[in-house]
Amino acid sequence: RWMAPEVIRHHPYSEKADCYSYGVLVWQLLTRENPFALHSQLEAAGKVALEEARPQFPIVTPSCIQKLIENCWAEDTRERFSFQIICENLQNGFDLSQEEEKW
């Protein structure tokens, strides 16, 4: 459920796999749900690795947080942020005042 698609496919492991898992964890904190809860672990792995499926976001998710999580979930590992960039974004904070959605 938290494993990166490239790891499921037995490709080389890197920090970017941890980035994917971090995105799932942040999604889980946001939603208070388990990803792909209606599927077995094997089915969930197949959805992620073969179908490029990702958990759905609640409608009220602030776009800045959704964009961060979606970046962590990028299929192409080169597109994912490094943890240094993630930390910089978190330290600088999110500008929620520009969000149209409300928590």
> CATH topology for 5-98?
Transferase(Phosphotransferase); domain 1 (1.10.510)
> 60-96 pLDDT, tens per residue?
999 889 999 999 999 999 999 999 999 988 888 765 5
Close Cβ partners of 36 (under 8 Å, ≥ 6 residues apart): 1, 43, 44, 47, 48, 53, 55
Dihedral, CA atoms, 52, 53, 56, 62, nearest 10 degrees?
A: -10
Q: Given a cut of 60, is residue 8 above it in pLDDT?
A: yes
pTM of the model: 0.84
In this structure, the number of other CB atoms found within 10 A of the CB of residue 65 comes to 16
Q: How far apart are CA 89 and CA 47, in angstroms?
A: 29
Boundaries of every domain in the chain:
5-98
pLDDT in tens, 10-53: 999 999 999 999 999 999 999 999 999 999 999 999 899 989 99
Question: Which pLDDT band, with edges at 50, 70 and 90, does 103 fall under?
Answer: very low
